[in-house]
Protein backbone atom coordinates (compact mmCIF):
# COMPACT_ATOMS: atom_id res chain seq x y z
CA UNK A 1 0.00 0.00 0.00
CA UNK A 2 1.19 3.52 -0.77
CA UNK A 3 1.95 5.89 2.09
CA UNK A 4 -1.00 8.15 1.21
CA UNK A 5 -3.36 5.14 1.33
CA UNK A 6 -2.03 3.91 4.68
CA UNK A 7 -2.34 7.45 5.98
CA UNK A 8 -6.01 7.76 4.91
CA UNK A 9 -6.87 4.34 6.32
CA UNK A 10 -5.31 4.94 9.73
CA UNK A 11 -6.84 8.41 9.99
CA UNK A 12 -10.30 6.90 9.43
CA UNK A 13 -9.64 4.14 11.97
CA UNK A 14 -8.46 6.61 14.63
CA UNK A 15 -11.48 8.86 14.10
CA UNK A 16 -13.66 5.87 15.05
CA UNK A 17 -11.88 5.07 18.33
CA UNK A 18 -10.69 8.45 19.66
CA UNK A 19 -12.60 11.43 21.05
CA UNK A 20 -12.33 14.75 19.17
CA UNK A 21 -9.49 16.25 21.23
CA UNK A 22 -7.47 13.05 21.18
CA UNK A 23 -8.00 12.77 17.42
CA UNK A 24 -6.69 16.33 16.89
CA UNK A 25 -3.69 15.51 19.10
CA UNK A 26 -3.06 12.34 17.08
CA UNK A 27 -3.03 14.23 13.76
CA UNK A 28 -0.63 16.73 15.31
CA UNK A 29 1.71 13.98 16.46
CA UNK A 30 1.60 12.15 13.10
CA UNK A 31 2.43 15.28 11.07
CA UNK A 32 5.03 16.58 13.54
CA UNK A 33 6.74 13.17 13.64
CA UNK A 34 6.73 12.97 9.83
CA UNK A 35 8.42 16.36 9.53
CA UNK A 36 10.97 15.50 12.21
CA UNK A 37 11.72 12.22 10.39
CA UNK A 38 12.46 14.15 7.19
CA UNK A 39 14.85 16.47 9.01
CA UNK A 40 16.61 13.63 10.85
CA UNK A 41 16.84 11.31 7.83
CA UNK A 42 14.67 8.44 8.94
CA UNK A 43 11.56 6.92 7.35
CA UNK A 44 8.74 9.50 7.07
CA UNK A 45 6.31 6.64 6.50
CA UNK A 46 7.21 4.85 9.74
CA UNK A 47 7.02 8.10 11.72
CA UNK A 48 3.60 8.90 10.28
CA UNK A 49 2.20 5.43 11.06
CA UNK A 50 3.64 5.40 14.59
CA UNK A 51 2.25 8.91 15.16
CA UNK A 52 -1.25 7.93 14.02
CA UNK A 53 -1.30 4.85 16.24
CA UNK A 54 0.65 5.92 19.35
CA UNK A 55 -2.48 6.71 21.44
CA UNK A 56 -4.84 4.21 19.75
CA UNK A 57 -5.70 2.60 23.13
CA UNK A 58 -5.98 5.87 25.04
CA UNK A 59 -9.78 6.22 25.01
CA UNK A 60 -10.47 2.64 26.14
CA UNK A 61 -11.31 1.97 29.80
CA UNK A 62 -8.26 1.05 31.86
CA UNK A 63 -9.75 -2.41 32.50
CA UNK A 64 -10.05 -2.94 28.78
CA UNK A 65 -6.43 -1.83 28.27
CA UNK A 66 -5.29 -4.31 30.93
CA UNK A 67 -7.30 -7.11 29.27
CA UNK A 68 -5.65 -6.38 25.92
CA UNK A 69 -2.17 -6.59 27.47
CA UNK A 70 -3.06 -9.87 29.23
CA UNK A 71 -4.42 -11.35 26.01
CA UNK A 72 -1.10 -10.79 24.24
CA UNK A 73 1.10 -11.76 27.19
CA UNK A 74 2.40 -8.26 27.96
CA UNK A 75 3.12 -7.82 31.69
CA UNK A 76 1.81 -4.80 33.62
CA UNK A 77 4.16 -3.49 36.32
CA UNK A 78 3.11 -2.43 39.82
CA UNK A 79 3.69 1.22 39.03
CA UNK A 80 1.46 0.86 35.97
CA UNK A 81 -1.23 -0.74 38.13
CA UNK A 82 -1.02 2.26 40.49
CA UNK A 83 -0.90 4.73 37.58
CA UNK A 84 -3.08 3.19 34.86
CA UNK A 85 -2.66 6.20 32.53
CA UNK A 86 0.71 4.63 31.69
CA UNK A 87 -0.83 1.39 30.34
CA UNK A 88 -2.12 2.79 27.03
CA UNK A 89 1.39 2.64 25.56
CA UNK A 90 1.65 -1.15 25.94
CA UNK A 91 -2.01 -1.73 25.03
CA UNK A 92 -1.49 0.53 22.00
CA UNK A 93 1.43 -1.58 20.85
CA UNK A 94 -0.74 -4.73 21.10
CA UNK A 95 -3.59 -3.16 19.11
CA UNK A 96 -1.22 -1.70 16.50
CA UNK A 97 0.08 -5.20 15.81
CA UNK A 98 -3.05 -7.31 16.19
CA UNK A 99 -5.89 -4.94 15.19
CA UNK A 100 -4.23 -2.51 12.78
CA UNK A 101 -1.86 -5.00 11.15
CA UNK A 102 1.49 -3.32 11.85
CA UNK A 103 4.31 -5.87 11.68
CA UNK A 104 7.23 -3.42 11.73
CA UNK A 105 9.10 -3.93 15.01
CA UNK A 106 10.50 -0.38 15.00
CA UNK A 107 7.03 1.16 14.76
CA UNK A 108 5.66 -1.14 17.48
CA UNK A 109 8.55 -0.26 19.76
CA UNK A 110 8.03 3.49 19.21
CA UNK A 111 4.42 3.08 20.36
CA UNK A 112 5.44 0.88 23.30
CA UNK A 113 7.92 3.46 24.67
CA UNK A 114 6.19 6.75 23.80
CA UNK A 115 5.21 7.60 27.40
CA UNK A 116 8.31 6.83 29.50
CA UNK A 117 11.06 6.47 26.92
CA UNK A 118 13.93 4.09 27.71
CA UNK A 119 17.73 4.36 27.76
CA UNK A 120 19.29 4.09 24.30
CA UNK A 121 16.24 4.87 22.18
CA UNK A 122 16.18 4.65 18.38
CA UNK A 123 15.66 7.86 16.39
CA UNK A 124 12.11 6.75 15.54
CA UNK A 125 11.32 6.19 19.24
CA UNK A 126 12.73 9.59 20.16
CA UNK A 127 10.80 11.30 17.38
CA UNK A 128 7.43 9.85 18.48
CA UNK A 129 8.18 10.63 22.14
CA UNK A 130 9.14 14.23 21.27
CA UNK A 131 6.33 14.80 18.74
CA UNK A 132 3.86 13.69 21.43
CA UNK A 133 5.12 16.54 23.61
CA UNK A 134 5.53 19.34 21.05
CA UNK A 135 2.63 18.85 18.59
CA UNK A 136 0.86 22.19 17.95
CA UNK A 137 -2.36 21.34 19.85
CA UNK A 138 -0.46 20.81 23.13
CA UNK A 139 -0.92 23.42 25.82
CA UNK A 140 2.01 25.85 25.64
CA UNK A 141 4.21 24.67 28.51
CA UNK A 142 7.29 26.29 29.97
CA UNK A 143 10.40 25.99 27.72
CA UNK A 144 8.20 24.94 24.79
CA UNK A 145 9.86 27.35 22.31
CA UNK A 146 13.31 25.99 23.09
CA UNK A 147 12.12 22.36 23.09
CA UNK A 148 10.39 22.78 19.70
CA UNK A 149 13.56 24.24 18.16
CA UNK A 150 15.72 21.45 19.60
CA UNK A 151 13.34 18.82 18.16
CA UNK A 152 14.61 19.73 14.69
CA UNK A 153 18.26 20.02 15.75
CA UNK A 154 19.42 17.61 18.48
CA UNK A 155 17.13 14.71 19.46
CA UNK A 156 19.15 13.70 22.53
CA UNK A 157 19.18 17.21 23.95
CA UNK A 158 15.46 17.52 23.24
CA UNK A 159 14.82 14.23 25.11
CA UNK A 160 16.79 15.60 28.06
CA UNK A 161 14.77 18.85 28.20
CA UNK A 162 11.42 17.05 27.97
CA UNK A 163 12.29 14.38 30.55
CA UNK A 164 13.54 17.03 32.97
CA UNK A 165 10.31 19.02 32.68
CA UNK A 166 8.15 15.88 32.90
CA UNK A 167 9.85 14.66 36.09
CA UNK A 168 9.58 18.13 37.64
CA UNK A 169 5.92 18.29 36.69
CA UNK A 170 5.18 14.88 38.20
CA UNK A 171 6.95 15.91 41.40
CA UNK A 172 4.97 19.17 41.56
CA UNK A 173 1.65 17.38 41.30
CA UNK A 174 2.86 14.73 43.76
CA UNK A 175 2.65 11.81 41.34
CA UNK A 176 5.19 9.00 41.43
CA UNK A 177 7.37 8.77 38.36
CA UNK A 178 7.90 5.51 36.53
CA UNK A 179 11.46 4.23 37.25
CA UNK A 180 11.85 3.94 33.46
CA UNK A 181 11.25 7.70 33.06
CA UNK A 182 13.94 8.30 35.72
CA UNK A 183 16.38 5.90 34.05
CA UNK A 184 15.79 7.48 30.67
CA UNK A 185 16.45 10.94 32.11
CA UNK A 186 19.67 9.72 33.80
CA UNK A 187 20.78 8.13 30.52
CA UNK A 188 20.29 11.29 28.43
CA UNK A 189 21.83 13.47 31.15
CA UNK A 190 24.96 11.33 31.11
CA UNK A 191 25.03 11.23 27.31
CA UNK A 192 24.85 15.04 27.23
CA UNK A 193 27.75 15.33 29.68
CA UNK A 194 29.91 12.99 27.62
CA UNK A 195 29.05 14.80 24.37
CA UNK A 196 28.92 18.42 25.47
CA UNK A 197 31.01 18.46 28.65
O1 LIG B 1 -1.04 10.01 26.02
P2 LIG B 1 -0.64 11.48 26.05
O3 LIG B 1 -1.52 12.28 26.97
O4 LIG B 1 -0.56 12.08 24.69
O5 LIG B 1 0.85 11.57 26.64
P6 LIG B 1 1.75 10.45 27.36
O7 LIG B 1 1.53 9.14 26.72
O8 LIG B 1 3.15 10.97 27.41
O9 LIG B 1 1.29 10.49 28.87
C10 LIG B 1 0.16 9.95 29.39
C11 LIG B 1 0.11 10.22 30.88
O12 LIG B 1 1.23 9.62 31.54
C13 LIG B 1 0.14 11.68 31.28
O14 LIG B 1 -0.92 11.88 32.18
C15 LIG B 1 1.48 11.89 31.98
C16 LIG B 1 1.78 10.53 32.49
N17 LIG B 1 3.21 10.18 32.69
C18 LIG B 1 4.26 10.32 31.85
N19 LIG B 1 5.38 9.86 32.43
C20 LIG B 1 5.01 9.39 33.65
C21 LIG B 1 3.62 9.59 33.81
N22 LIG B 1 2.93 9.24 34.92
C23 LIG B 1 3.60 8.67 35.93
N24 LIG B 1 2.96 8.33 37.03
N25 LIG B 1 4.94 8.46 35.86
C26 LIG B 1 5.70 8.79 34.75
O27 LIG B 1 6.90 8.58 34.74
FE1 LIG C 1 0.21 8.60 25.07
FE1 LIG D 1 -0.06 11.23 22.77
Give the pLDDT confidence score for residue 197 in this predicted structure: 85
Q: Which atom of ligand 1 is nearest to the CA of 89?
A: 7
pLDDT value for 170: 97
Give the residue among 132, 129, 122 at the shortest CA–CA distance from 160: 129
Cα of 179 vs centre of ligand 1, distance in Å, is: 13
Q: What is the DSSP letter of 178?
A: P
DSSP 8-state symbol, 87: T
State residue 5's pLDDT score: 84
Query: Angle at the Cα of 170 (from 169 to 176), degrees rounded to 5?
Result: 170
The beta-carbon contacts of 102-107 under 8 Å, at least 24 apart in sequence, are 102/49, 102/53, 104/46, 104/49, 106/46, 107/46, 107/49, 107/50, 107/53
User: Low-confidence residues of the chain, pLDDT below 50?
Assistant: none
Span from the CA of 135 to the centroid of ligand 3 (angstroms): 9
pLDDT tens-digit profile of 161-188? Answer: 999 999 999 999 999 999 999 999 999 9
Threshold 0.95, pTM exceeds: yes
**Which atom from ligand 1 is nearest to the alpha carbon of 132?**
4
* Domains of the chain from N-terminus onward: 3-196 (1.10.3210.10)
Provide the pLDDT for residue 146: 97
Ligand 1, pocket residues at CB < 6 Å: 25, 55, 58, 83, 85-86, 114-116, 132, 166, 170, 175-178, 181
Contact criterion met (CB below 8 Å) for 165 and 197: no
Query: Which residue CA neighbors atom 13 of ligand 1 most closely?
Result: 85
Residue 18 has a CB neighbour count (10 Å cut-off) of 19
Amino acid sequence: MKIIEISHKLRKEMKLVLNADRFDHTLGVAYTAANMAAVHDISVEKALIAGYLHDCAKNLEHDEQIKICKKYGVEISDIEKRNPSLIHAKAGMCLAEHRYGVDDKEILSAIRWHTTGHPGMTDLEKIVFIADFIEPNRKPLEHMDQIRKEAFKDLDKCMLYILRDTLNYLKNIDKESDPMTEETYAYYLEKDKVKNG
